[in-house]
Structure 1
């Protein structure tokens, strides 16, 4: 099992998961991960507001500028996948993550530590969507365009809770943006195409094809656990992260983000539905951060369902810390409590708590059920806004 990018920093990663995100980053062996995991995790908690000082000056409408043409899959002179690839390819980009690695041969020591994919969502303004884990920790981001240009990009917003990020390039001449489809209308068995840079620039804009294998899949990985994912058998490889999953009309219906790397399994890739992702992408463009609802508590991942059963306690999310004056504090929730329900939804672990809270908006009132000293209690909580 391998993890990418500082596995101890966000211990919401499920330590038992064999699924991984296909970005080319440092691989840390299981022994090191196990040693790092076990601290406090953040499941809809207080996290520093990295981008909170950026405010929107005006609303940006995605899809401005030149976009990819509609695809005629009945064209008798071509093949459907070839037509889709030809139409969407110009909107797909490579994303290089450069970090400081010490002085190398007398230069500044900036080196590419990983790469992934992305796609242009606004050709007029140069906005590009990708995964957070593709650009995480980057000191410099370089975008490779379909026409061969390599240009520097700036980070607009990044969100660990949804594994989404938006970057921007200033060279907007001759850019082509992607068209968006409606992932709500996807059908199991529908043909799809994945386009991206598996292995980096050497295999830029590789095309793989398959079908929608299933909908509403849930992975216990931070970011991806926030969505009902699209499962596909189109090959998703390291470097495909952040690239588009496209239907036969040439419309982006998903963002390729993860794969099942368990030995013996093939053809199990996962994509974030575009319809679910766009509101967060829009927020990052307008505000510089994605807004989420939260309880303002810290959750200890060491509290597992198995451990709880041994103690005779219920499964849930163990509250390790409560922010003074936050929603949970005002509702009477204390450190040592175990959150077992949000409204009528049963909570089994930290990621499950985050997932359920994401069904609401900041300011919404919910009922939280918690366990304390052998008894459960219901309290009303008004969710706070978390900025990241």
Structure 2
């Protein structure tokens, strides 16, 4: 028992400074008085001599370490490795690392040493951001990110030729322009020809085109095919512009990857991807009764403002113009073979001086009245790629009926129809006390100021029941008459309980 207490005393009772230090050649006791003054500035931090007595500056990476009693230990994180007869401090990892200061360090240990030195000077700590060179993450051809990211390659190739189109209209009363809507397009010639949807650009007072580099231009409408919903506009730019080439939509196969790019909700250069769901979807299947178009169906998301933007294949070739969607995951594009035909016909028209077109207008906004509208409207779920906006009531645009002959505004392009813009007849009558009991005709929703309709005395709430002695059953009858009849239209309108004859002469506008 006495021996045990002696052992405890010898182990625990001795002062710390008198404890023997380990290591060959080390003194049996540490004498702090024999130590040099403590260092004030150590780039790699402080440590002790190998014998563990006197404080010294730690050895930095690749400096000599702990061979003799007077050699310092390696800084934190480093190992003393003997190689070729000389021991030096080495980092366990010799891979370069990028620091938060934007500099590349040969190893994590070097970064940590520099961070400690920076903090000693009152600067912010340096933390590792990524492995490897600071520039390596941007362009590393061997990285899987660059090897297999083929979508990014396509976008990088096509984005400079995709444009954002902002549309303005003039408010007659205030005599000033206001933004009306926006869409997308893409450049097809180095001198500034741009393809987009017809419903994006027609009946606008001014078009402004913005490229991906931020440069803006006023655009001029060159040609429009409303039935195909394709338009050609032009900007004047200095120098040659990047262009997109047309691919062959007839070669498309269901399941092919496609990329859609445009400006949904005015968010420029928004990219979505998907596959070709169906290479040929007939327009009549979509409720477009007079359409002979076979659309490309895709699950790439197309939203409001994507209209007119390109749908491209993985070669960066345009295989369609994004034009409409039914719901999320079901969108449609005009095939490039149809675009190619339009461009050829447009070139012929321009060559023969037939490029400028004229259209007649009255300046009213209408909706069709029919007995079956209530049931049909309840089933309507078609949503198109640009929402209704004030500019859509600007004179010059007529559309006969809507999807499933629902209550429709005749001045709205069919691609602007949205489910919320269609009122059920019953609800409409509940909201408008003086709404007529007619079950046919064209109900005037609005009369545009300073137009032939206002000058002739047409008013909101009037119902056009006949033109030239022929009964009017829907707004399409009115738009057909405007196109086909002579210079003056002889209308009979129902206002309250009275039938009133009114004559109105449509005006022509160029587009």
Is structure 2 residue 229 aligned with structure 1 residue 163?
A: yes
Identify which of structures 1 and 2 has the higher relative contact order when contacts are C-alpha pairs closer than 8 Å and 6+ apart.
1
The match for 2:342 among 280, 283, 307 is 280
Relative distance call for 1:227 and 1:109 in structure 2 (3 A) is same
Q: How does 1:35-54 map to 2 (within 5 A)?
A: none
Distance 2:369 2:282 in 1: 18
Is structure 2 residue 153 aligned with structure 1 residue 83?
A: yes
Partner of 1:138: 204
Distance 1:75 1:174 in 2: 32
Partner of 2:332: 270
Query: Which is greater in Rg?
Result: 2
- 8 Å Cα contact 1:159/1:290 also seen in 2: no
Distance 2:348 2:194 in 1: 14
- 8 Å Cα contact 1:245/1:255 also seen in 2: yes
Relative distance call for 1:271 and 1:103 in structure 2 (3 A) is same
Q: CA deviation at 1:159?
A: 1.5
RMSD: 3.6
Is structure 2 residue 183 aligned with structure 1 residue 116?
A: yes
Distance 2:226 2:204 in 1: 14
Query: SS state of the match for residue 184, structure 1?
Result: helix
Greater per-residue strand proportion: 1
Distance 1:236 1:287 in 2: 32
Partner of 1:206: 270
The match for 1:196 among 250, 255, 262 is 262
Partner of 1:97: 167
Distance 2:245 2:210 in 1: 20
Greater per-residue helix proportion: 2
- Structure 1: which 5+ residue stretches go unaligned? 1-73, 292-299, 305-335, 337-349, 351-387
- 8 Å Cα contact 1:129/1:281 also seen in 2: no
Query: SS state of the match for residue 312, structure 2?
Result: strand
- Structure 2: which 5+ residue stretches go unaligned? 1-143, 357-367, 373-469, 471-475, 477-510
- 8 Å Cα contact 1:97/1:141 also seen in 2: yes
Partner of 2:281: 217
Distance 2:289 2:155 in 1: 28
Aligned residues: 223
Distance 1:193 1:223 in 2: 29
TM-score normalized with structure 2 length: 0.40
TM-score normalized with structure 1 length: 0.52
Q: CA deviation at 1:275?
A: 1.1
Relative distance call for 1:222 and 1:142 in structure 2 (3 A) is farther
Structure 1 stretches (4+) deviating beyond 6 angstroms? 300-304
